[in-house]
Amino acid sequence: MNIFGESSIWGSGDNRDFISGNEWGTPDENSSLGAGSNGFMSTTLESGLNNLGITGGLGTSQDVDEVLEQSVWGDSNADNHEQAGSDNSALVGNQPSSNGATIGHRREVGITDTNLFSPYNFNQDQDQGTESQRKQVQGGSISGDDESSEDLNDWLESVRKTYHPLDPDTVVIEEIPEREGLLFKHTNYLVKNLVDLPNTEPSKDRSVIRRYSDFVWLQEVLLKRYPFRLIPELPPKRIGSQNADPQFLERRRKGLVRFINLVIKHPVLNKDDLILTFLTVPTDLSSWRKQASYDTTDEFTDKKISSGFIKMWQKKLSEQWNEADASIDKSIEIWLKITFLLERHERRIKQIAHERNIMRSLLNDFTQTTPKLYPVEHSSTILDITNQFNVIGKHLQTTTEYNEQEVDASSTSLVPKFKIFVDVLFSLKGLFERYRIMAGNNVPQLQRRVEINSEKLQTMKGKPDVSGAEYDKIRTAIQRDKKCIVLELNRAWLIRQCILEEFTIFQETQFIITRAFQAWSKLNASFAGLKLNEWEKLTDNLMDLPLSFQ
C-alpha cells in the first residue's frame, strides 16, 4: 500500500522524504515459509466446535486429546457414522471431487465463521447425549459464564503484564564507516547490548558485528518458528550505488534499531536461543550459520492445548480480532500520514534555520552600504539603526541554533517514537496476513473422507466375497484420518491461543501513542518558549529605535 502515490495530496518527487514502495514491506505469500494456501482449506474456528460438543466436555481432568476425539467422533464404533452425509451438501458446497464426494468451494471467511468443521450427523443416541450435555451447560450458564469471564480476565491481565513496550531500548546499532566487499560493497553494523542477556557469555564490550543480511536471516528464522507472533518488519534493502546514499543508510540503521528492540521487548521472542546467539556470538554470523545446526520448526510442535483455555474462550474475542483486521489498513494509512507530516515539519524548521543564516549574512552586507545611502552628515539616526543590526543578527543566530536543536531532537527522539508505532501496526498486519495464508486445515475434507470410508465398511458387512485385508485397510485409514483431525484441531486451538496472546500484548502498544504525543507536545512547548523569549527580548530592544527625524 503506497499512500503517497502520484495522486497524493502530499506532493511528489524530492518533497517526499520516504522510500518508494512499502518501507515496512509485508510478508510475501510466495516467501520461503512455503505458506501457500490449500484450495479447500478453511481458516475459521468458531461455533463448529460448539456444534460438535467440544466445549461441553472440557473443564475436567480428561486429557485434551480424548476430549477432542470424543467430541468429534463420539463412540469410535463405525455405526456412529452410518447416517453421515445426508445434510452435508448444504454445509460443504456442491463441487464434486474425483471420488464422488461433495467438497465445498474455498471462500474468504473470518475467524468466527461456523463452517470450519463440517458437522457430523451422529446417530440418534449421540444427538440426544449431546443435547442433554448442552442443556446441563445452559442450566449453569450464569455461574459458568461468570467464572469463565473471570478466568479470561485473569489470563488476559497476566499476558499483558509480560509486555512493556515503553521500556528503554537495550540495543544500540552504529554504522561502521569501513565498507566491505569486492564487487558489491556492504555496510557492517556494530550491535551493542546495554545490558547483560540471560544465559549468555557476552563479549568484553557486549558488542558484535552484523550486516544487513544477518538481520534478514534472523527475521526469516523468527517467521518460521513463530509464524503467528508479532514479528516486526525490516527496513528495505538497496544494492549498488543506492547503497552508498548516506540518508538511506541512516534511515536503514534507525529501522534496524527499532526492529531489534521490538524483538527484544517481546515476551516470547526474547527467550529464543537464536536471538541470544545473534546478539552475543562474536564470530561472523554467515560462517556460523553454515556450520551450526539449528531448529526452525514452529513453536506448536509437540504442544497440546489446555482444556482451561478452550473453556474460557469467548466468541467476542474473535469478533474483536476481525474488527481490528478490518481497520488495520486504514490505521496504518493515517499513522503514516501523521509521521510524514512530522518529518515534513522537521524539514521546514531546517529550511527556516538555513534561511535565517542567509538573512543574518545579508544584514551584515547591508550594514556596509547604509553609510553611502544615508550619510551621517545628514542625520546621525542611521547609526542607531545600523547598530541594532548587530542585535538582530545575534537574535537570528540564537533562534537558528534553537531551530537546529529542534530538528536534531525531532529526528533523534520525536519521530522515532511515532515510527515505532508504524512498525507495530505493520507487524500486526503481517500477523493477519500470515493467519489467512497459513492457519487453514483439512478437517472438513478429512471428515468427509471418514464418512465415505465408513459407508464402504457398512456396505462390506455380510458380503462373503470381501477380503479381510481390504476391510482392515479401510478401517486403518479411518483411524488415521481421525487421528489427523484431532491433531489439526489441537493445532487450530494452539494458533487461536497464540493469536489471542499477541492481540492481548498488542493492547499495551496504545501507550506508545500516549508517549509519542507527550513528546511532541513537550518538544514544541520547550522550543516555542525559548524562541518566544528571544523574540520578546528583540522587540524590547527595537522599540527604542527612532521612527522620525525629530
The predicted-structure confidence for 468-523, as pLDDT tens digits, reads as follows 788 888 889 999 999 999 999 999 999 999 999 999 999 999 999 999 999 999 99
**Per-residue pLDDT at 460 exceeds 60:** yes
| CA atoms of 333 and 337, how far apart (whole Å) | 6
* Beta bridge partner(s), residue 190: 174, 209
Q: Which helix (H) or strand (E) holds 208?
A: strand 207-211
Across the range 442-465, mean pLDDT stands at 87
Q: Cβ(102)–Cβ(94) under 8 Å? A: yes
Q: Domains in the chain, start-ordered, CATH in brackets?
A: 43-161+308-345+410-550 (no CATH), 170-299 (3.30.1520.10)
Across the range 383-390, mean pLDDT stands at 87
Whole-number mean pLDDT of the chain? 76
Percent of the chain with pLDDT over 70: 70
- Give the model's pLDDT for residue 446: 93
**Per-residue pLDDT at 45 exceeds 50:** no
**Per-residue pLDDT at 100 exceeds 50:** no
How confident is residue 74, by pLDDT bands cut at 50, 70 and 90? very low
Q: Which residue has the higher pLDDT, 280 or 513?
A: 513
**Per-residue pLDDT at 106 exceeds 90:** no
| CA atoms of 430 and 24, how far apart (whole Å) | 10
Biggest CA pair distance of the chain: 135
Q: What is the pLDDT of residues 322-365, one digit of tens each?
A: 999 999 999 999 999 999 999 999 999 999 999 999 999 999 99
How confident is residue 182, by pLDDT bands cut at 50, 70 and 90? low
Percentages helix, strand, coil for the chain (3-state, rounded to 5) are 60, 5, 35
- Give the model's pLDDT for residue 412: 93
CB-based contacts of 362, cutoff 8 Å, min separation 6? none
What DSSP line would sit under 130-198, residue for residue? HHHHHHHHHHTHHHHHHHHHHHHHHHHHHHHTT--TTSPP-EEEEE-SS-B-SSS-B-EEEEEESSPPT
| pTM for this predicted structure | 0.72
